[in-house]
A and B are shown apart, each in its own frame.
Chain A
Amino acid sequence: MGRPKTTKTSQPNLTNTSQMLDWYRSMLLIRRFEERAGQLYGMGLIGGFCHLYIGQEAIAVGMQSVKQTGDQIITGYRDHGHMLAAGMDPKSVMAELTGRAAGVARGKGGSMHMFDVEAGFFGGHGIVGAQVSLGTGLAFANRYKENGGVSFTYFGDGAANQGQVYECFNMAELWRLPVVYVIENNQYAMGTSVERASSEVQLFKRGLSFNIPGEQVDGMDVEAVRAAGERAATHARSGEGPYILEMKTYRYRGHSMSDPAKYRSRDEVDEVKKTRDPIDHLRERMAALGMADEAALKAIDAEVKKVVADAAEFARTAPEPDPSELYTDVYLEA
């Protein structure tokens, strides 16, 4: 392979109305779901750490639209959005958050550790950076099995500094593994801004010395995400090896539910909400293209509200796991 095609791009791709409405529904579902999860946390129904995806919806949703059956997704602990985008049942995701038997991990994993192999979703991992090696391993298996699958491996700007990321970049390119590394650069790792943690803040360049091509993408624009995702997936699927997408985004809420968020100003947050919100952006785009049917959008709003309310009610009232579950799933029968 020659020099890496490390570029900055953001060319929106014209898409059709039903695709746009799907995106809108999916992003709104994540937003409303997360708001409700925040509430349930406030009411003491969700415990431990709960990291919300609000503000970053366009990434999981845009990338989902390039995922094919058999591809895999893996991410860190900020994982609710990826699961909803992957079509997992909001009830079983919310019930996992409340630690109930009907949860997608039967109440054993909680917010940070959820899995759904059927949806191609390999977690939900609590250790920053671990998913990068694991996701590279999924890609390794795809190549080994020659199944044509691509691993979409998500991680944060903070995780991008972990050593194992670079060990895997090297092997992924060396062995031409079908993996798309999606860096969700929301500008902060807990209270540390990218500028304070990274000697090179343009994270799409992090593959340069490994010859991995990278692109910086407006992660608040679902069309741009989709277009870049397509380029990356095509590259990976056709045997050319890994590809890095740096998604520029922003998290609206604190790092987890009880983060005082003193490291940034309210104005900074408000400015992003006002000018870059991914859902508003999509609505405006649809209006500009003459695709926004107010009645259709209203119907989606109402539908999503109901789905989320039902999920919350289900998660609130579903029974806890049976005590015997404490000892199950530690080993398989040999």
Chain B
Amino acid sequence: MSVDVLMPALSPTMEEGTLTKWTIQVGDKVSAGDVIAEIETDKATMEVEAVDEGVVEAILVPAGSEGVKVNTAIARLSGEGPAAAPAPKPVAAVEAVPTAAATVATSASSGVSSADPEIPEGTPFIRQTVRDALRDAMAEEMRRDPAVFLMGEEVAQYQGAYKVSRDLLQEFGEKRVIDTPITEHGFAGIGVGAAFTGLKPIIEFMTFNFAMQAIDHLINSAAKTLYMSGGQIKSSIVFRGPNGAAARVAAQHSQDYSAWYGAVPGLKVVAPYDAADAKGLLKAAIRDPNPVVFLEHEIMYGVEFDVPEGVDWVVPIGKAKVRREGTDVTLTAHSRMVGFALEAAEKLAEAGISAEVIDLRSLRPLDHETIVASVKKTNRLVSVEEGWGPYGVGAEVCQRVVEHAFDWLDAPPTRVHGEDVPMPYAANLEALCLPSVDKIVAAVKSVTARG
């Protein structure tokens, strides 16, 4: 019985690739695990391993073929087993973890333009991924200040589990780019202790899910020591890493900690959306004399935006940003949800509803002046966040608006947020669990239908 070898996918989001090379020929005998070909996508090169044993009967797709669709038969083996796609084995730089890039555009506009008042006139821009913007922010600050160092799991030799620290080891060496064992509680505490003496650590958590091992040091040690010491001891330290839901990684790896850290006096909490803010806010966080929790988003890492070039681009912590102006409703969001809110605003415009979109950027301090000013204009508020609703960021935003703009509201403030359950694994349940553009549109319609 012959079996077809199928074009494999490296990740669930890969649809096609280039078959660069065959390492077998017709007549060769292969067994499971043998490398038979090399394929390439925009993200990675991978070796294809045979899964079944057999003799190569035919090569159906010649080396050098581009745009070969996943699951196309690429070779035929005479074997005993059932038809089998080979296992992909990546050999080039990709994340150690799946990305859900297919669920977002790989390039996006964030409403920033050269007309942005934050950006000096005539500043040139480059297109850059959020990942590279974060990397550049760290590199620039490490060049500027020898007290800055980076520590975390897989940050050095592996170049970052998500490649955010790519090339930093090469430039700054082992003294300043430090791989740790899997010991979050320990190395977070080491970071804070080092910060007590004036060093400026950047502590990377592979994801914020794992920072739960270390949260005592973020709160009890980093956030409170300045106060407890009567102002003697500062902790100028950044805790950073991806936060929130990635794709299909289920309950223990998909959680948004915005509200958790947002509740703690002594911490600053930042959650950028686009690459320019990722860079500018990270530089500000590193320079800040206080502990800063810097929440990134895995699904945004690969998305490109315009980033100012050739200037020392620092975005002050504590300022929200109006990403789109509108008159009928105010949408607030942070991190990846800003993109959802912008998309919803676009859809709403088609329906004749003008939405103003505010990117919170900084969760603590929260810039409620910008939100309140917007609500006084639109008279309606819908907050959007990926995390759970109860006791959440949206709850805080709504409270501030009620407190400062109660008389301007034409409808009760409304929240869109992740469902109040742990994140399920199944694809259909996961989609139901997360906020979506449609859920935002529906929430806006529910408040604009009134008054």
Query: Which A residues are CB-close (under 8 A) to B213?
Result: 127, 129, 162
Distance A168 CA – B425 CA, assembled complex (angstroms): 30
Assess whether B158 is in contact with A191, with CB atoms less than 8 Å apart.
yes
Q: Given A35-B51, A49-B253, check contact A44 B70 (CB 8 Å).
A: yes
Residues on A with beta carbons closer than 8 Å to the beta carbon of B419: 326-327
Q: Are B91 and A321 in contact (CB under 8 A)?
A: no
Contact with B along A164-187 (1 / 0, CB 8 A): 000000000000000000000000
A258 within 8 A of B: yes
CB distance from A324 to the nearest CB of B (A): 10
Q: A42-B9, A320-B426 are in contact. Are A254 and B90 (CB under 8 A)?
A: yes
State the CA gap A279–B157 with chains docked (Å): 33
Expressed in whole angstroms, the Cα–Cα distance for A163 and B433 within the complex equals 33
In the complex, A143 Cα to B96 Cα: how many Å? Answer: 40
Residues of A within 8 Å of B12, CB to CB, are 41, 44, 46-47
Contact of B9 among A44, A48, A113, A127 (CB under 8 A): A44
- Looking at the complex, which one of B212, B429, B433 makes contact with A107 (CB distance below 8 Å)? B429
| A109 and B210 alpha carbons, distance in the complex (Å) | 18
Across the interface, which residues of B come within 8 angstroms of A262, CB to CB?
Answer: 91, 158
Q: For the complex formed, measure the closest distance between the CB of B120 and the CB atoms of chain A, giving whole angstroms.
A: 40
A41, A112, A198, A273: which contacts B252 (Cβ < 8 A)?
A: A112
Verify if B29 is at the interface (C-beta below 8 Å from A): no
**Are A158 and B181 in contact, with the CB atoms below 8 A?**
yes
* Chain B residues positioned under 8 Å from A256 (CB to CB): 96-98
List residues of chain B with CB within 8 A of the CB of A210: none
Give 1 or 0 for each of A299-329: 1 = CB within 8 Å of chain B CB.
0000001000100000000001101011100
**Complex formed: what's the CA distance from A170 to B133 in Å?**
45
Chain A residue nearest in CB terms to B422: A330
Q: Could you say which residues of chain A place their CB within 8 Å of the CB of B154?
A: 190-192
Q: Does A289 contact B (CB under 8 A)?
A: no
Contact (A321, B89) CB under 8 Å given A43-B8, A47-B248, A158-B181: no
The tally of residues in B whose CB lies under 8 Å from a CB in A reads 67
- Bound complex: CA of A46 vs CA of B426, how far in Å? 10
Q: Specify which of A42, A49, A198 is in contact with B10 (CB 8 Å cutoff).
A: A42
- Interface hub of A109, A189, A253 (most chain B Cβ within 10 A): A109
Q: Are B8 and A39 in contact (CB under 8 A)?
A: yes
> Across the interface, which residues of B come within 8 angstroms of A309, CB to CB?
82
In the complex, the answer to whether A258 meets B97 with C-beta atoms within 8 Å is yes
B426 close to A330 (CB less than 8 A): no
Least CB distance from B187 to A in Å reads 10
> Nearest B residue to A321 by beta-carbon distance?
B426
Report yes or no: A39 in contact with B157, Cβ–Cβ below 8 A: no
- Contact, CB under 8 Å: B93 / A260: yes
Q: What residue in chain A is nearest B209 (Cβ atoms)?
A: A127
B429 in contact with A263 (CB, 8 Å): no
Interface positions, chain B 79-110, Cβ under 8 Å from A, are 80-82, 84-98
Q: How far is the CB of B3 from chain A (nearest CB, A)?
A: 12
B157, B181, B249: the one contacting A191 at CB < 8 Å is B157
Instruction: Report if A126-B186 is in contact (Cβ < 8 Å); known contacts: A108-B429, A321-B428.
Output: no
Most chain B CB within a 10 A radius of its CB, from A46, A101, A128, A198: A128
B247 at the interface (CB under 8 A from A): yes
Query: CB of B147 within 8 A of chain A?
Result: no
Indicate if the CB atoms of A110 and B70 lie closer than 8 Å.
Answer: no
Write the nearest CB–CB distance from B441 to chain A, whole angstroms: 20
Is there a chain A Cβ closer than 8 Å to B402's Cβ? no
Q: Is B44 an interface residue (CB 8 A)?
A: yes
Query: Given the interface contacts A44-B9, A48-B98, A257-B98, does A163 sit within 8 Å of B185 by beta carbon?
Result: yes
Which positions 388-442 of chain B face chain A at CB distance < 8 Å? Answer: 419-422, 424-429, 432-433
| Alpha-carbon separation in the docked complex, A327 to B179 (Å) | 40
Does B182 contact A159, Cβ atoms closer than 8 Å?
yes
Q: In the complex, A254 Cα to B419 Cα: how many Å?
A: 33
Looking at the assembled complex, report how far the CB atom of A200 sits from the nearest CB atom of chain B, in whole angstroms: 12
A207 within 8 A of B: no
Whether A43 contacts B182 by the Cβ 8 Å rule is no
Chain A neighbourhood of B373, CB < 8 A: none
Closest to B44 in A: A260
In contact, B249 and A158 (Cβ under 8 angstroms): no
How does the 8 Å CB contact mask read for B146-172 relative to A, with 1 for contact and 0 for none? 000000011001100100000000000
Q: Which residues of A in the span 25-65 have a Cβ within 8 Å of any Cβ on B?
A: 35-36, 38-39, 41-44, 46-49
- Cβ-based interface call for A100 (8 A): yes
Task: Check if B426 sits within 8 Å of A161, measured CB to CB.
Answer: no
Residues of A close to B420: CB separation below 8 A: 330
| Chain A residues within an 8 Å CB radius of B86 | 39, 42
In contact, A99 and B87 (Cβ under 8 angstroms) = no
B267 CB, nearest partner CB in chain A, Å: 23
> Which of chain B's residues have a CB closer than 8 A to the CB of A255?
96
Q: How far is the CA of A46 from the CA of B425 in the complex (A)?
A: 10
Q: Are B249 and A48 closer than 8 Å at their CB atoms? A: yes
A39 and chain B: residue at smallest CB distance: B85
| Contact partners of A99 in chain B: CB under 8 A | 248, 425-429
CB of A287 within 8 A of chain B? no
Q: Which residues of A have CB within 8 Å of B64? A: none
Distance, CA A129 to CA B210, complexed state (A):
11
Query: Any chain A CB within 8 A of the CB of B71?
Result: yes
Residues on A with C-beta less than 8 A from B98 are 47-49, 256-258
User: Can you list 10 A-B contacts with CB-CB less than 8 angstroms, sorted by A residue number?
Assistant: A38-B88, A44-B70, A47-B427, A48-B253, A158-B181, A258-B11, A260-B92, A323-B432, A326-B424, A326-B429
Given contacts A36-B51, A327-B421, 4 further A-B contacts (CB under 8 A): A252-B33, A254-B90, A258-B11, A323-B432
- Counting from the closest, the 3 A-B pairs by CB-CB distance are A110-B425, A47-B248, A48-B248
